[in-house]
Chains A and B, each alone.
Chain A
Amino acid sequence: MNTRKQEATLERLAARHGKRLFRAMARHESRGLTMDRAQDMAMNLMMKDEDLRYRMLRFVDVYPALRSQASIAEHLEEYLTAGELETGVPPTRLSDLARSIGRHRGITQPAIAMASRLGIKQMGNQFIAGNTPGEVARKVSKMEKRGFLFSLDLLGEFVVSESQADDYQRRYLEMIEDFEDELGPAPKQPAAGPRMNLSIKLSSQTSKFDPMDPEGTSRDVRRRLRPLFRAARKKGAFLNIDMEKREFRDLTLRIILDLLDEEEFRGFPHIGTVHQAYLRDAEEVLQGFLAELSKRNQPMTIRLVKGAYWDSEQIWARQKGWQVPVYTDKRETDACFERCAEILMKNHKVVRTAIASHNVRSIAWALALKKAYDVPDTALEFQMLFGMAGPIKETLRDMGHPVRIYTPCGELIPGMSYLVRRILENTSNESFLRQRFTKGASPMTLLANPKLPPRPEWAKPANMGKGAVK
């Protein structure tokens, strides 16, 4: 029963945690965004100019397909100048610059190609841990030494063939079997399940992941999952089933339950999945899934996220004539995230919760819930993305909470859609990180309760200064 009084207590607790987090983060923030200056500048430019951002992202997207210096320079030039035809937007002020690049081709092309290569490689390095298991292991070892946990995510091609699905399965299997051996001895860590933790996308385990055919899809996917779960059981590894687009959600949950209903995997302890709070029916679906878990007495970790396909979901829905399945107002998503967090933590005897957000208010709320519902330390962890939000990661670690870093690895070409999503996120107007670090929003504004209507402009406190890095 969530009475008004409890609500007020939670709010007070959340506010207190939030302020404490901000104070602690200040110590880590002196380094600003964890990216280097050149990249910071590029990101800043993109944030200030929506048109440029769109053009740059399109260039980043095509970059790995370009095979020569000339072709890199030509594409950059084209993306900066051309465009009225396909986008309806006039060229930006940068077009003069790009035209002069065009005029001095011989001299500038190699330079431009080199600069783009460096820039994009750097962005890739920022968000993707590496290509080979060795490279990734070195980065992960470093993370572990700094007191963080990890979950690996394998980037790859969009699967349309059985051999691609086999290939994915093989890479997953190799990771489960060998990766931990590549790491050194385990440092002392907070108790949060197995050290080896791998995130799996079910759409990569079949050539036809089709929600219209749930039986067939479940059968195909489980055929590839079984060896993975057997290996995980043998090695004591944790497998997390990731979420993708909304159309796949119900089927993904169904496949998880289908697998767990097989005699061999009943009660499998080290399994997790994801719940996306931007979906309008998130609470209802979460309640339903928890009921299924209780019925089976099945342990599970649920990673609560806001959701990474926000733009795409809106576009797909409009094109198909469907109701937009996601909240279109960021505050509503934040509010739903808090309500889902409460559902999860109340049920801490049924599930472990992983709070995956960079938003300090969402994190503070989770800390408040932990206290209010007496959630044991082992039933809550925090998750953040590789290459983002350094200060809050370090702050939570210092406070003794398990912090797991979602660590993508793989080649740049197949990783492009992941990279573009991260850049989109880091430069989006709505992003917490941008509000905080570029716009210099005050902690009070950032800690506002998303479940209440926003304050009118005149009632907002004056910008308190702290926080603006640049």
Chain B
Amino acid sequence: MNQENTKTLESPLSDFRNEPQTDFSLEVERSNFSNALKSVATHFPQDVSIIIDGREEMTSERIESLDPSDFRQIVASSAAATSDHVDKAVKAARKAYPEWRRTSPGERANIILRAAELMRERKHELSAIAVREAGKPWREADADVEEAIDFLEFYAREALRLGAPRRLQPWLLGEHNDLVYTPLGVVGVIGPWNFPVAIPTGMTTAALAAGNTVILKPAEQTPLVAWLVARIFHEAGLPDGVLNFLPGRGEVCGERLVRHPDVNMIVFTGSREVGLRIIRSAAETPEGQHFVKRVVTEMGGKNAIIVDSSADLDSAVPDILYSAFGFSGQKCSACSRLIVLEDLYKECLDRLREGAAALKIGRASEPSTQVGPVIDGEARDKILGYIELGRKEARTIHGGDVGGLASEGFFVAPHIFESNRGDHPLMREEIFGPVLTVIKAGNFSEALDIANDTPYALTGGVQSRTPSNLRRARQEFEVGNLYLNRTITGAIVGRQPFGGYRLSGIGSKAGGPDYLKQFMVSRVVSENMMRHGMASLVEGPPDNRED
């Protein structure tokens, strides 16, 4: 590794700044983005290969990823890794591990920061691919790449902070007690399609920064953009075998990765069903596996916003519409339940209905689009099933129509239903689409009870100008991320560390101070420094590391 380039960051987190959002009010940014969209499309369908030990490999079986806005367009033709590929990749990762673990945190951070730089240079290109491969409207795709850059910058600094040994009770004489964090070994990263740049980048970066080697399996729907991320890491100087890239089917290569006796940790973002299965199989310790797999999962939510009678509808209505229908509701943080207090109920619903009716549905690549497609046919059909159920069993407040778009892409119009049953499937099950269910509450306590009556605890919001209600929500609203008087999606690295509890996931918040530690074990070394009554009487420097 190139020593001179190693950054020495004095106070690792103090100089962290989030990547600026693209200012689309500037002509130059708009035209750069349009050009990126045109230029990436010239390579479709792009071949996506497996990368094991630095070598690219294709398979005869292919997985095609389609543009959700235009399903006739094949975006990528991806290799489909088999369980043999998984075994080879784990072997390569195992082989690369000792050297990577010995690499200093500073050098590791340096490679990661270089990856951040490369990603910044190719920002619009990555966003443009996310527009076409994941069906993300411009601003959503842009935010996805910014978050990825943030993860790189943030975890690189975290690696430095946690990488230095910490002398415990330094005033003690005659004995040195040092706490160090060391990596776990080989980490399997299983990524989702909804943040196809940010989340795989974040999970991978945390594992690498901590000194682990990685096997990254991207979502079947979005292999291309993940492949570019893997290549950026290599271009930044990551040694062969440290990051292996395995596109493929979950039930084939994901399954093998989870059960492989040489994989120490699985980090996963996706559905609750798959997440719980991973947790179950990770508990098994087959012959020869001398550890219990560590698992970190992020598994979704059934997030609610409460609107009390002092809310300002001028800001609440746009906040709710964006939280529920931004990226077609396909964020684990999205709002799918709305609880409105009686006093404001009618007015709030009227404004929501009219606001929802004005949302522009269209192809993700059109700058005017506010609601794009959903990811694939399976997702569309599942969401349409819930809409059907809503039409039958609830009152339809708003139900749009996608018109001719239905024959071009996987489009679902935003729907708002009213339910008077907290236990209705619309109020309990994660739909992961543009469907919002509204329920009336008599007072704020009742609203909080309804909000908390769910197995999930991810995000939640309150729209209120009553200080005592906001204070109660802080204490009683059971969610990992509570948002007061704003949208409930769009967490920013370092600013809103993100993650839930209950059935929303296990593990600590991404983009926060505890995340990297999950990829490490702590060890303590105590050394007696006394020799025949002789020891230095000089105290060590004070312990000032923030943990």
Most chain B CB neighbours (cut-off 10 Å) among A66, A82, A161, A251: A161
| Min C-beta distance of A163 to chain B, whole Å | 5
Cross-chain contact A160 with B355 (CB below 8 angstroms): yes
Is A262 located at the chain interface by the 8 A CB criterion? Answer: no
Measured between beta carbons, the chain B residues less than 8 angstroms from A164 are 354
Q: Which of B23, B310, B367, B468 is within 8 Å of A82, CB to CB?
A: B468
B23 touches A86 (CB 8 A): no
User: Cβ of A61: which chain B residues have Cβ within 8 Å of it?
Assistant: 312, 465
Once the chains are docked, how many angstroms separate the CA of A66 from the CA of B370? 33
The answer to the question of A65 belonging to the interface, with a C-beta cut-off of 8 Å to chain B, is: yes
Could you tell me if B368 and A213 are in contact, using CB atoms closer than 8 angstroms? yes
The answer to whether A212 and B24 have CB atoms under 8 Å apart is yes
Contact A62 B354 (CB under 8 A): no
Interchain pairs with CB closer than 8 A, number: 101
A66 touches B471 (CB 8 A): no
Please report which residues of chain A, range 60-97, place their CB below 8 angstroms from some CB of chain B when the two chains form the complex.
61-62, 65-67, 71, 75, 78-79, 82-83, 85-86
Chain A residue nearest to B137 in the complex (CB): A212
Docked Cα-Cα span, A250 to B343, in Å, equals 40
List 19 other contacts, CB 8 Å, given A82-B467, A250-B25, A322-B23.
A82-B471, A86-B467, A160-B317, A160-B318, A160-B358, A208-B360, A211-B24, A212-B24, A212-B25, A212-B138, A212-B367, A213-B368, A216-B368, A247-B23, A248-B25, A251-B25, A320-B20, A321-B17, A321-B21
A83 to B318, CA, bound (A): 26
Give the complex CA separation of A162 and B355 in angstroms. 8
A208 touches B20 (CB 8 A): no
* In contact, B466 and A162 (Cβ under 8 angstroms): no
The answer to whether B310 touches A75, judged by C-beta atoms less than 8 angstroms apart, is yes
Contact A62 B310 (CB under 8 A): yes
Complex: how many Å from CA A62 to CA B311?
8
Q: A65-B465, A79-B467, A158-B314 are in contact. Are A212 and B30 (CB under 8 A)?
A: yes
B309 CB within 8 Å of chain A:
yes
A58 CB within 8 Å of chain B: yes
**Chain A residues whose CB sits within 8 angstroms of the CB of B46 once the complex forms:** none
Q: Which residue of A lies closest to B471 (CB)?
A: A85
Residues of A contacting B: mostly: helix
Chain A residues with CB under 8 Å of chain B are 58, 61-62, 65-67, 71, 75, 78-79, 82-83, 85-86, 157-158, 160-164, 207-208, 210-216, 246-248, 250-251, 320-322, 414, 417
Cα distance A67–B139 when bound, in Å?
39
Given A82-B471, A161-B351, residue A208 in contact with residue B25 (CB < 8 A): no
Min CB distance A111 to B, Å, is 21
| Cross-interface CB contact of B315 among A67, A158, A248, cutoff 8 Å | A158
Partner of B358, one of A78, A86, A208, A250: A208
**Complex: how many Å from CA A211 to CA B313?**
23
Q: Chain A residues near B309: list those with CB within 8 A.
A: 65, 67
Contact of B310 among A66, A162, A208 (CB under 8 A): A66
Contact A322 B21 (CB under 8 A): yes
Decide yes or no whether B334 CB sits under 8 A from chain A: no
A160 and B375 CA atoms in complex are apart in Å by 27
With contact pairs A160-B317, A208-B360, A210-B368 given, residues A78 and B466 touching in the complex (Cβ less than 8 Å): yes
Q: Which residues of A contact B466 (CB under 8 A)?
A: 62, 75, 78
Residue in A closest to B24 when the chains form the complex, CB atoms: A212
Q: Does B547 contact A (CB under 8 A)?
A: no
CB interface residues, B 454-474, toward A, < 8 Å:
465-468, 470-471, 474
> CA of A207 to CA of B343 in the docked complex: distance in angstroms?
26
B36 at the A/B interface (Cβ < 8 Å)? no
A-B contact pairs, 17 of them (CB 8 A): A65-B310, A75-B466, A82-B471, A86-B484, A158-B314, A158-B315, A158-B318, A161-B358, A208-B360, A208-B368, A211-B25, A212-B25, A212-B30, A213-B367, A248-B25, A321-B19, A322-B21
Find chain A residues with CB under 8 A from B18 CB: 321
Residue contact A65 to B312, C-beta cutoff 8 Å? yes
**Least Cβ distance of B138 to chain A in Å?**
6
B354 touches A161 (CB 8 A): yes
Give the contacts of B9-36 with A (CB-CB under 8 A): 17-21, 23-27, 30
Residues of A within 8 A of B321 (CB): 160
Question: With the chains together, A211 CA to B19 CA distance in Å?
Answer: 21
* B349 part of interface (Cβ distance < 8 Å): no
A367 to B386, CA, bound (A): 68
For chain B, residues 335 to 351, give those with C-beta under 8 angstroms from any C-beta of chain A.
343, 351
Return B207 CB to nearest CB of chain A, in Å.
Answer: 27
